[in-house]
């Protein structure tokens, strides 16, 4: 079931009404049933898989506490199961495909077994959430949850089940255990997040997605035509993924839960490292805490090891997104950008001491635009799954573009820019909002009064500007 479907429009109000008529214990049982229905609505056996992940991590976390002398074994078992099921459903076909190619290149006859594996929706998100919980129990950072209903709800909570955010146990479990209520402000905020998320999906993501699809469907796009398609995809993937997070947070708020922010206006980033502090933040923090720091992070002695830790972390980030060489290249590319960014900071640190702490606006804008260009180069790696086509794309030059293609490219770029304006304007308003807020003014009250007007404009935009075709959320495939 998807947030942008009629099914969800019927499902969520019923859940909301029944939920608030129940006591806390009844609420948790009902939410658990609703979450499994939400997942099993797509395919029945998806519920069986998340049930197994829940049972294994629930049992192993308790065993870690009861038998501390054997806690490494129980952690290993939980990790083996979680990573094993993730590897089977996401990577076994990719592995066999590359083994077949390798054997055939050496003249060894090998036929790839025919496998029909359906990727379970949300598997990467809830598996990582379960892994983080068990590791936290192992480290002593959190206590195991003995209430099986509460723990099962923590793993399967439907607003963030399919595409995140990846919640930590210390943030979500206390909310599950305690009584919940909503204030009028939370209701307003939740509804606005739902409407704003729906606007980003149906108006921005789906319209720019059609542009990107048309460009990448071309057999041999010219230079400017290709990069207008990359720009469209960059806007599409931001609006698409961010819209899911907003709708997840809005749904959760109406149920009395507060979920983590997953985006902080990433296209306003001033460096590649800053981009990863703003994009898919819960995954970035997950990789930092459970991969980068355990590898030694930046505390290891040699600069080679420090660089290797960054590259390994980003390679895993690429693999997390999918079993394809383009995702591995995308991860390696971002790892190199972050590494070069760190090296550049050290090299230019003497010069930076002479610069003002608050950069002049032209220089700040230049850094933002430069980072945006680098990120869009990465989106080409992310979008194009054919390695040979990628090689061809990077060989294109501006001078080979015909006048007709230039005109089409300008039109598509302009159209994408118009669709992207609400996202960039929202970013500017957000930063102005942060600067303006203060205890001595009525600004916050004015914003509250403007929310209904803003919601009305967004609904009008959805009715008049929505794309004729609505695609599934991009991150459902991860």
What is the rounded CA–CA span in Å between residue 240 and residue 162?
A: 13
Let me know if 417 is exposed, middle or buried by CB neighbors in 10 A (0-12, 13-18, 19+). middle
The DSSP 8-state label assigned to residue 204 in this structure reads: I
Q: Is the dihedral of CA 446, 452, 458, 464 positive or negative?
A: negative
What is the rounded CA–CA span in Å between residue 297 and residue 303?
A: 11
In degrees, rounded to 5, the angle at the alpha carbon of residue 187 between the alpha carbons of residues 181 and 191 is 140
The answer to whether 198 touches 4, Cβ cutoff 8 Å, is yes
Note if 392 is an active site residue.
no
What is the rounded CA–CA span in Å between residue 341 and residue 345?
A: 6
Smallest Cα–Cα separation from 367: which of 359, 379, 378, 356?
359
**Given the residues 143, 265, 280, 321, the one annotated as active site:** 321
What is the rounded CA–CA span in Å between residue 280 and residue 259?
A: 13
Residues in the chain: 478
Helix, strand and coil content of the chain, in percent to the nearest 5, comes to: 75, 0, 25
Residue entry with tokens 């970013």: 427
3-state secondary structure 337-389: HHHHHHHHHHHCHHHHCCCCCCCCHHHHHHHHHHHHHHHHHHHHHHHCCCHHH
Q: Which residues are designated catalytic?
A: 321
């Amino acid at each position: 079931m998807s947030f942008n479907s009629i099914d969800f429009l019927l499902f969520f109000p019923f859940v909301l009404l029944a939920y608030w008529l129940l006591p806390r214990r009844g609420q948790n049982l009902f939410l658990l049933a609703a979450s499994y229905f939400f997942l099993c609505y797509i395919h029945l056996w998806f519920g069986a898989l998340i049930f197994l992940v829940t049972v294994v991590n629930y049992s192993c976390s308790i065993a870690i506490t009861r038998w501390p002398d054997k806690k490494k074994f129980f952690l290993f078992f939980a990790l083996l199961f979680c990573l094993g099921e993730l590897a089977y459903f996401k990577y076994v076909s990719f592995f066999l495909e590359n083994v077949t190619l390798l054997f055939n290149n050496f003249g060894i006859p090998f036929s790839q077994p025919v496998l029909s594996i359906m990727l379970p929706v949300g598997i990467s998100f809830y598996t990582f959430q379960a892994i983080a919980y068990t590791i936290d129990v192992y480290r002593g950072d959190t206590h195991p949850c003995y209430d099986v209903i509460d723990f099962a709800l923590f793993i399967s909570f439907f607003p963030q089940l399919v595409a995140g955010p990846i919640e930590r146990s210390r943030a979500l479990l206390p909310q599950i255990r305690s009584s919940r209520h909503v204030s009028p402000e939370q209701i307003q905020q939740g509804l606005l997040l739902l409407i704003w998320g729906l606007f980003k999906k149906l108006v921005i993501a789906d319209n720019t997605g059609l542009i990107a699809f048309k460009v990448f469907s071309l057999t041999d796009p010219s230079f400017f035509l290709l990069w207008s398609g990359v720009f469209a995809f960059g806007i599409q993937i931001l609006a698409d993924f961010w819209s899911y997070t907003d709708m997840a947070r809005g749904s959760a708020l109406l149920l009395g839960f507060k979920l983590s922010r997953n985006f902080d206006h990433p296209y306003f980033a001033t460096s590649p490292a800053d981009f990863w502090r703003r994009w898919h933040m819960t995954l970035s923090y997950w990789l930092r805490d459970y991969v980068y720091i355990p590898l030694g992070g930046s505390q290891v002695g040699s600069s080679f090891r420090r660089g290797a830790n960054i590259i390994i972390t980003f390679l895993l980030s690429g693999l997390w997104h999918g079993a394809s060489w383009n995702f591995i290249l995308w991860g390696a590319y971002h790892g190199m950008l972050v590494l070069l960014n760190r090296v550049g900071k050290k090299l230019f640190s003497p010069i930076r001491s002479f610069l003002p702490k608050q950069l002049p606006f032209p220089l700040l804008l230049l850094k933002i635009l430069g980072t945006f260009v680098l990120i869009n180069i990465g989106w080409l790696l992310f979008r194009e799954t054919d390695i040979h086509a990628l090689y061809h794309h990077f060989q294109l030059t501006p001078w080979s573009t015909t006048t007709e293609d230039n005109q089409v490219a300008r039109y598509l770029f302009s159209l994408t820019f118009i669709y992207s304006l609400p996202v960039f304007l929202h970013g500017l308003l957000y930063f102005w909002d942060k600067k303006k807020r203060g205890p001595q003014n009525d600004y916050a009250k004015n914003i509250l009064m403007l929310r209904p007007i803003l919601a009305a404009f967004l609904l009008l935009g959805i009715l008049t500007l929505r794309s004729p075709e609505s695609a599934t959320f991009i991150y459902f495939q991860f």
